[in-house]
Amino acid sequence: MSLVKLTIKGISYSQTQNGAYALILNEVDGDRKLPIVIGAFEAQSIAIALEKEIKPPRPLTHDLFKSFADRFDIVIKQVIIHKLVDGVFYSSIICERDKIEEIIDARTSDAIALALRFQAPIFTYKNILDKAGVFLNATSNDLEGNNPLDISDQSEPNIIGHENEEKNSGFAKFSLLELHEQLEGAVQDEDYEKAVRIRDEISKREVG
């Protein structure tokens, strides 16, 4: 079976499961998206790994695993989403130490959170993408293909870190200096979702 390389498109709030998120993976050489339901903690950990500017004051679980692996010269070479059963994705982490390769089973959300920290590529098999991949049609609200969950009623998912203006509008009244102070406070309080929204408001102003 041929492997298909994936990149992270973003994270969307799940419309079907309270407290859950949909991790959206994108086919590198194609237009299909692979949505995977993940928990709030894993979504936060992945979002933090994507947001290079936000440094938690204490290591998250996946950061701790990265430090532990670095200390013992363990490297994650790649992550493979290798099975889909009853709507549940199964993944393997391909590790290497002293030129000896090991394969470790993992939840897909944990595997991807670690792949980001090790800058390791993410793959799935073509038959899984054929079964669970969807096309996000820019001219239609309908998702084509076998969609395992209802992601959103929008043509593009609502990505964490790029949320709608209404949710970020509460920061519009603050100056850049105040926003930087609030960003530092949010990180110290480990309120990373708020930190991402403040960071986006700062970035929007600096680009403008």
pLDDT tens for each residue of 40-93: 889 889 988 888 767 788 888 999 999 999 999 999 999 999 999 888 899 999
Torsion 32-47-158-150 (CA) sign: positive
Q: For 185-201, what is the mean pLDDT?
A: 73
pLDDT of residue 149: 37
pLDDT band at 17; cut points 50, 70, 90: low
Closest by alpha carbon to 118, among 66, 71, 68, 82?
A: 66
pLDDT of residue 79: 98
The DSSP bridge partners found for residue 124 are 4, 81
pLDDT band at 162; cut points 50, 70, 90: very low
pLDDT of residue 187: 75
At position 98, the amino acid (one-letter code) is: D
Q: What is the DSSP string of 46-111?
A: HHHHH-TT---SS--HHHHHHHHHHHTT-EEEEEEEEEEETTEEEEEEEEEETTEEEEEEEEHHHH
How far apart (Å, rounded) are the C-alpha atoms in residues 146 and 33?
A: 11
- Is the model's pLDDT at 150 over the cut of 70? no
Q: For 112-141, what is the mean pLDDT?
A: 83
Contacts by residues 194-197 (CB-CB < 8 Å, ≥ 24 positions apart): 195/51, 195/54, 196/47, 196/51, 196/54, 196/160, 196/161, 197/163, 197/167, 197/168, 197/171
- Is the model's pLDDT at 155 over the cut of 50? no
pLDDT of residue 193: 65
